[in-house]
Amino acid sequence: MPSTHLSLHYHLIFSTKNRERSIHSIWRPRLHAFLGGAVKKLDGIPEKIGGTDDHIHVLLGLRATHTLSQVLCDIKSASSEWVHEELGVRHFKWQEGYGAFTVSASKRAEVSRYIDNQLEHHCKQSFQEEYIELLTKSDIPFKEEYLW
């Protein structure tokens, strides 16, 4: 085959340090926009970004040359620095770990809607419950004592 064709889409989830409710609704849309710009700067494709006051969901497309862990490190570092410098929120930090789930092209719209509805979703289910459910549905083994 003379050329390469890829469809690499990921649903990323990461939370604030200790799941502190530090992403304020006043500046949350600006943070989401910044994260989208950070993904673009890395030559990725931000498809949907959303979340609540203690965690973020990112649906993005990456190239084969991207390293998922480096992309996460770069966008978390850049956004944390932006919150400190641009917004003056010096105590803001991201949790070290993250969740990353592959998304087939046929499920991108469904995941995008899921991300759009985060505020309503979390009126019924906590972040911890949501995350455990996603890990379970994806058959990812975990020990709950190491999640938080």
pLDDT digit string, tens, across residues 9-29: 999 999 999 999 999 999 999
Tell me which CATH homologous superfamily contains domain 9-136: Transposase IS200-like (3.30.70.1290)
Structural domain boundaries of the chain?
9-136
Higher pLDDT, 127 or 84: 84
Please check the confidence at residue 107 and state whether its pLDDT lies above 70.
yes
100 vs 8, 56, 72, 81, 97, CA distance in Å?
A: 12, 12, 10, 22, 10
